Chains A and B, each alone.
Chain A
């Protein structure tokens, strides 16, 4: 990956709405070239998706997040991939990760209430064949999400003119 590619990705990572013409101004190559490059990033899966980070607490929406850790039993001709596929197809499941340590897989699950999440885990996840045990942690507050701090950000306190 060259410097220009890295620049384009950094700009879009900061603000996915930045238009190709503007990226062109910031990187010194033409808008058409930027468009082509972005298309290639999308096709290659380097850019997966454009999304908005919403602070649902501020929006006043009631929801519950939980982190669920799973222990799984692997079966013949069935690796983690097969289990992950079964898990990530649920809409309630927001992320699926294979992890090291005491557990094998970590999920984040989102629901409207603790009851709903608890039922979902009990009925849909814990009952899957390969799942040995589950351990559910409800999230009380999110301070940082995907690199974005969700509380007040610090201001740089600079003097307006300095040498």
Chain B
């Protein structure tokens, strides 16, 4: 007779291949401790600029609370199209090459579901954002990791990419500027990757959510490289540049054939991105640039503080060129990432995220977000210094 008490018998077997997020475990650990200084947060510490919030409040007052077109508000798609024309001299037709989504998370999910057949291999550059591998597994594809290394400042090396490609490879997910390493890739370096993509007839899903947070370097949009527009699904959004994480609004840009296919899934699963968030996004694109520039300068100052701070206390840290993460090495202490992070949390109350959460090649590193006040970064550095001297 069947054991009718255990609901887990209803679960789909593909979920077995998805381990619970290592971030989740750390979150539970942190929640039990008071007075934690957290460098573990993957979102800006700035408020959403008031004019954006105010535009949303006004929209609610005006009753703009119904569904929008499945594609998203036309005005928003037009603003995004203009943005890419101005910033990257590339044209996406707002009618059929722009899709507004509920965060890059949704855009990523539907992009993968749109292209993956069972058994297709998707290359994921590690250390990587935690959602890529599970999203590929959910859609029945096979994730194939390619490691990057601190010796190359965590940039993707062409030979490493080449050796990961098989005849089953369908696509590669790129994320520069990168979460968790803060690495960014320049135009010349990306062109070498583009050559391989073309040679092997691959598609690229380029998650450029941290585009606006680059320092001393101009961001290269992957789709603007020669021959790449037709084989790129570009993902971007408002969370990081305009401090709008909770609004859940982002977009995908791609050729009409791909956008239409993504739209097919989007219309039945999401219908449309939150209307109020879309209105906030229009406001951000129209009037948000000066507050964004100010945030970027502030991040840049903290970046210097934290990177120099880590190097000064003996945790060697390469210079990140984008996002808001520093990725110092803890190898000199002889501890694993996880052990270091857990001990640091318990002994000195500083929360970080162990690098192995982002893939095997993140082992030996910590992800430390500098989306924290200068004051808190200083306190965290002092505590980490104390922690290391206690180790010795």
Contacts and interface: CB of A to CB of B under 8 A. Distances in A.
Contacts of B40: 160-162
Contacts of A161: 23, 26-27, 30, 38, 40-41, 351, 353
Interface stretch (B227-235, B267-275, B276-284, B298-306): B298-306
Interface string A14-44: 0000000000011110000000000000000
A58 B309 CA distance: 37
Interface of B: 21, 23, 26-27, 30-31, 36, 38, 40-43, 45-47, 129-131, 179, 294, 297-298, 300-302, 304-305, 308-309, 351, 353, 374
Interface stretch (A72-80, A132-140, A151-159): A151-159
Interface in A90-135: none
A28 B311 CA distance: 14
A28 B216 CA distance: 12
Given A26-B374, A160-B31, A10 B297 contact: yes
Contacts of B308: 25
A142 B300 CA distance: 33
A162 B43 contact: yes
A162 B353 CA distance: 9
A11 B46 CA distance: 16
Nearest to B308: A25
| Contact count band on A | 10 to 19
A3 interface: yes
Given A26-B374, A163-B130, 17 more contacts: A10-B294, A10-B298, A11-B301, A27-B304, A158-B41, A160-B30, A160-B31, A160-B36, A160-B40, A160-B41, A161-B26, A161-B27, A161-B40, A161-B41, A161-B353, A162-B43, A163-B42
B246 to A, nearest CB: 9
Contacts of B21: 163
A118 B297 CA distance: 46
Given A3-B297, A6-B297, A163-B21, A26 B304 contact: yes
Interface of A: 3, 6-7, 10-11, 25-28, 154, 156, 158-163
Contacts of B38: 160-161
Nearest to A29: B304
A3 B40 CA distance: 29
Contact of A159 (B41, B45, B130, B374): B41
A125 to B, nearest CB: 36
A149 B252 CA distance: 38
Contacts of A6: 297
Contacts of A28: 304
- Listed from nearest, the 7 A-B pairs whose CB atoms lie closest are A26-B301, A161-B40, A161-B27, A160-B38, A160-B30, A162-B42, A163-B130
A158 B44 CA distance: 9
Contacts of B31: 160
Interface centre among A6, A26, A27, A161 (most CB of B within 10 A): A161
Nearest to A15: B374
A160 B351 contact: yes
B129 to A, nearest CB: 7
Contacts of A160: 27, 30-31, 36, 38, 40-41, 351
A163 B23 contact: yes
B366 to A, nearest CB: 12
B173 to A, nearest CB: 15
Contacts of B43: 158, 162
Contacts of B47: 154, 156
B271 to A, nearest CB: 25
